[in-house]
Amino acid sequence: MNDILFRLSEILEQRKSADPQSSYVAKLYHKGLDGILKKIGEEATETVIAAKNGDKEQIVYETADLWFHTLVLLAHQGLGPEDVLRELARREGLSGIAEKASRTE
């Protein structure tokens, strides 16, 4: 299961050349960055609402949608899950306060 992000990433790359009439992801790419960002905003809001409602099943469902659409964004920008995982690995063991301070200095 650990490689699901990479498998999805490969599929998202393939969908870049797909017909927007036959692929939801191709349709998102066709809408461009603003369309992708709008969808991420919607999914983030739905995730927040699910969390506020305390519905664990819905939290998982909405988080999956949010992650999926974030992967679409990464692919659109020429990035992949490995880029985010590399950054998380870089931050591992760092104090969140110290890490944030290092970005503002």
What are the pLDDT digits (tens) for 12-65? 999 999 999 999 999 999 999 999 999 999 999 999 999 999 999 999 999 999
Cβ-proximal residues to 88 (8 Å cutoff; 6+ apart), any chain: none
pLDDT at residue 1, as a whole number: 63
Angle at 83 (CA atoms; ends 81, 87), nearest 5 degrees: 115
Cβ-proximal residues to 16 (8 Å cutoff; 6+ apart), any chain: 26, 29, 75
Task: Summarize pLDDT for 73-87 with one digit per residue, the tens.
Answer: 999 999 999 999 999
How many other C-beta atoms lie within 10 A of the C-beta of residue 36?
21
Structure tokens at 99: 């890490």
pLDDT at residue 97, as a whole number: 74
